[in-house]
């Protein structure tokens, strides 16, 4: 049987078993999700019960608008309870019906809810406040101003009397304070803050009544007086001319006193509403317990069913493992000849071309071996041809660069002699033409030098002579050599290095890197507004030199290629100023020969920062 046929059969077995597992997992997940939603809705019943209790207390505090909220909460419980019994869709997700095993506890939950619901319905309908108490409160609050006014009137009536009436004046002042306090306490009761206000009203009423009787000269016959340490006092009778306010106060106080006594003995909340609220609190605990029990039992049932399914999944897992082992053994047996191919390919990778694979079977592996042997022979032949071409290329490049430099040196030398007017004066046109000749020869010499350096890097023949040097001095010398060009281009060239930084490196080669980077930055900047800065950052393991400019930046699609040979960023300014496309490639080779790295950070139209690092320890490539 061919390997492809075996592979398809084994893959079919794996896919079939995986499909069964996937189907079971999806079905189980869907069922579990629906059950979990159902249990979540069952847990929400407890939340609704607590919410109903809170809403009922809010209604008891006088918030009549909450009656509609209470009605909505009752409906929510009914709807949730019903959907749990039948299953369906709730809150946008599927729920399952209560399992038959939980039918009895589900029914008990419904019975507890009906009791709780009955009391909640009473609260929704019953009036909260006792109407007689409300009328009494309204009367007292309405008359409290008159009570305070008449008490102040007594104080005014007694103010003109002599010192024999000082005690009368003290009692009158106390009555004014008590009248105000009665108004405040009554107001607290009216807004539902009953608390200890009822007891305070009783105390103030008793004392105010005793004070009025003392001023009227009447006996104190109330049994409540002993509780507040009030005793009979013998006071001089107030003249009739000064008792007008007392006579007006007496009938008003009798009416207010009766209302106060009624408030003291009757609650503000109506008996029917209070009974319903108390009954709601009693049935609440039973309903919460039943709901908790219902949810717990459902969780236990879910755990039991999950355990059963886990056993099924475990059995399927064992089957999966067995099938996988069989597949692996079969594949290993079928593909064992590939080990021999791997070893042969490894030999070719190491450079031993022409290796052959000995395999005579007629299956796909045999076909692959024959093809591989042919490919190996072809590679061996092409490699031999490539070596011949490479040698010829190196010889040609070495020859052509040498031959090109030979005539350029006298051209540049005689250009300098003529421009220096050593052979006679020149007019402006002659000087301009000679300047073009000298500039072009200098450019061509630089190109040839770059080609030689690139060739040396490629062949591993570029020598790096590392020694202990000061980066600040190297950068300063480079900047001084580049100042004529920066001045000519009207671009600011700044040295930000102020401290000595001693590192092991080849001074001349690092100058070459810096010169190339600064030249590129000068090309990227515009005249008058351009600025190029050189800085150094020192850390424990290396020194990082950065050349930053505010020029045009580098397009994002060019960043990955700028360190490749002969690559130039295609912008109008850089193309106009020329370049061989070898500078950054040479910089990269020199930096890496030092054991460092070089990179660029740039944003279009916001400038670029070329940085390279020099390790503080000598590079193992220093002798290259």
Whether residues 95 and 171 share a domain: the answer is no
User: What gap in Å lies between CA 129 and CA 269, rounded to an integer?
Assistant: 4
User: What gap in Å lies between CA 503 and CA 613, rounded to an integer?
Assistant: 11
Question: What band does 423 get if pLDDT is binned at 50, 70 and 90?
Answer: confident
In a domain, 37, yes or no: yes
In a domain, 349, yes or no: yes
Whether residues 426 and 498 share a domain: the answer is no
Question: Which of 446, 461, 476 corresponds to the end of one domain?
Answer: 461
Dihedral of the alpha carbons of 224, 230, 236, 242, in degrees to the nearest 10: -70
Tell me how crowded residue 348 is: count the other CB atoms within 10 A of its CB. 16
Q: What is the pLDDT of residue 192?
A: 60
Whether residues 135 and 227 share a domain: the answer is yes
Helices (H), 163-270: 166-190, 197-216, 244-265
Question: Which of 225, 248, 268 corresponds to the end of one domain?
Answer: 268
In a domain, 326, yes or no: no
581 vs 218, which has greater pLDDT? Answer: 218
- Report how far apart, in Å, the C-alpha atoms of 518 and of each of 281, 449, 482, 514 are: 86, 18, 8, 6
Question: Which of 413, 439, 461 corresponds to the end of one domain?
Answer: 461
Whether residues 53 and 110 share a domain: the answer is yes
In a domain, 324, yes or no: no
Whether residues 30 and 151 share a domain: the answer is no
Whether residues 140 and 71 share a domain: the answer is no
In a domain, 328, yes or no: no
CA torsion sign, 317 to 323 to 329 to 334? negative
Q: DSSP string covering 577-598, please?
A: H---S-HHHHHHHHHHHTT--E
**What residues make up the domain containing 72?**
3-128+277-319
User: What gap in Å lies between CA 206 and CA 280, rounded to an integer?
Assistant: 37
Whether residues 7 and 111 share a domain: the answer is yes
User: What gap in Å lies between CA 149 and CA 153, rounded to an integer?
Assistant: 6
Closest by CA to 78, choosing from 120, 37, 36, 39, is 120
User: Which pairing describes strands 502-505 and 531-538: parallel, antiparallel, or unpaired?
Assistant: unpaired
Domain CATH for 175: 1.20.120
How confident is the model over 556-571, as pLDDT tens digits?
888 888 888 777 765 4
Number of domains in the chain: 4
User: What gap in Å lies between CA 618 and CA 468, rounded to an integer?
Assistant: 9
Whether residues 141 and 262 share a domain: the answer is yes
pTM: 0.38
- Rg over CA atoms, the chain: 53
Q: Average pLDDT of 283-311?
A: 82
In a domain, 331, yes or no: no
In a domain, 350, yes or no: yes
Whether residues 470 and 605 share a domain: the answer is yes
How confident is the model over 128-146, as pLDDT tens digits?
666 677 777 788 888 889 8
Whether residues 485 and 605 share a domain: the answer is yes
Whether residues 415 and 477 share a domain: the answer is no
Question: What band does 580 get if pLDDT is binned at 50, 70 and 90?
Answer: low
User: What gap in Å lies between CA 510 and CA 531, rounded to an integer?
Assistant: 22
Whether residues 231 and 373 share a domain: the answer is no
In a domain, 296, yes or no: yes
């Amino acid at each position: 049987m061919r390997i492809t046929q075996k592979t398809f059969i084994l893959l079919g077995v794996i896919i079939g078993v995986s499909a069964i597992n996937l189907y079971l997992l999806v079905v189980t997940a869907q069922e579990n999700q629906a059950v979990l939603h159902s249990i979540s809705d069952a847990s929400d019943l407890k939340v609704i019960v607590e919410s109903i209790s809170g809403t009922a207390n809010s209604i008891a505090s006088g918030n009549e608008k909450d009656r509609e909220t209470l009605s909505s909460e009752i409906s929510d419980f009914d709807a949730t309870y019903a959907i749990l019994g039948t299953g369906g869709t709730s809150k946008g997700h599927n729920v399952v019906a209560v399992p038959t095993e939980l039918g009895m506890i589900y029914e008990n939950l419904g019975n507890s809810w009906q009791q709780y619901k009955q009391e909640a319905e009473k609260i929704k309908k019953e009036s909260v406040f006792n109407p007689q108490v409300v009328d009494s409160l309204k009367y007292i609050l309405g008359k409290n101003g008159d009570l305070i006014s008449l008490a102040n009137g007594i104080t005014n009536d007694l103010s003109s009397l002599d010192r024999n009436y000082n005690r009368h004046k003290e009692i009158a002042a106390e009555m004014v304070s008590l009248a105000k306090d009665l108004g405040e306490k009554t107001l607290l009761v009216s807004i539902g803050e009953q608390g200890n206000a009822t007891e305070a009203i009783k105390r103030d009423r008793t004392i105010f009544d005793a004070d009025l009787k003392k001023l009227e000269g009447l006996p104190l016959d109330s049994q409540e007086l002993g509780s507040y340490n009030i005793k009979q006092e013998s006071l001089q009778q107030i003249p009739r001319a000064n008792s007008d306010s007392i006579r007006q106060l007496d009938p008003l106080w009798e009416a207010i006193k009766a209302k106060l006594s009624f408030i003291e003995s009757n609650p503000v909340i109506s008996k029917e509403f209070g009974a319903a609220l108390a009954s709601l609190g009693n049935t609440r605990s039973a309903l919460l317990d039943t709901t908790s029990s219902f949810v717990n039992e459902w969780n236990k049932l879910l755990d039991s069913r999950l355990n059963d399914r886990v056993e099924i999944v475990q059995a399927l897992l064992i089957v999966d493992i067995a099938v996988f082992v069989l597949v692996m053994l079969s594949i290993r047996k079928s593909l064992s000849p590939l080990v021999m191919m791997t070893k042969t390919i490894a030999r070719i990778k190491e450079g031993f071309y022409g290796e052959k694979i000995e395999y005579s079977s007629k299956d796909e592996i045999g076909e692959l071996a024959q093809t591989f042997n042919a490919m190996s022979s072809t590679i061996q032949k092409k490699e031999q041809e490539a070596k011949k071409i490479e040698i010829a290329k190196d010889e040609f490049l070495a020859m052509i660069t040498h031959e090109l430099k030979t005539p350029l040196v006298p051209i540049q030398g005689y250009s300098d002699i003529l421009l220096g007017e050593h052979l006679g004066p020149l007019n402006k046109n002659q000087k301009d033409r000679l300047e073009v000749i000298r500039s072009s020869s200098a450019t061509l010499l630089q190109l040839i030098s770059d080609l030689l350096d690139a060739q040396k890097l490629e062949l591993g023949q570029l020598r790096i002579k590392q020694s202990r040097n000061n980066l600040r001095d190297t950068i300063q010398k480079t900047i001084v050599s580049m100042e004529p060009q920066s001045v000519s281009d009207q671009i600011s060239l700044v040295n930000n290095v102020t401290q000595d930084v001693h590192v092991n490196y080849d001074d001349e080669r690092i100058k070459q890197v810096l010169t190339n980077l600064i030249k590129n930055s000068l090309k990227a900047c515009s005249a008058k507004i351009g600025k190029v800065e050189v800085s150094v950052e020192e850390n424990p393991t290396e020194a990082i030199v950065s050349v930053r400019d505010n020029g045009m930046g580098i397009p994002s699609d060019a960043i990955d290629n700028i360190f490749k040979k002969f690559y130039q960023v295609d912008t109008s300014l850089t193309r106009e100023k020329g370049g061989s496309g070898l500078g950054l490639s040479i910089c990269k080779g020199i930096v890496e020969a030092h054991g460092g790295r070089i990179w660029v950070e740039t944003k279009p139209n916001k400038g670029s920062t070329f940085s390279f690092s020099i390790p503080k320890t000598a590079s193992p490539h220093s002798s290259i």
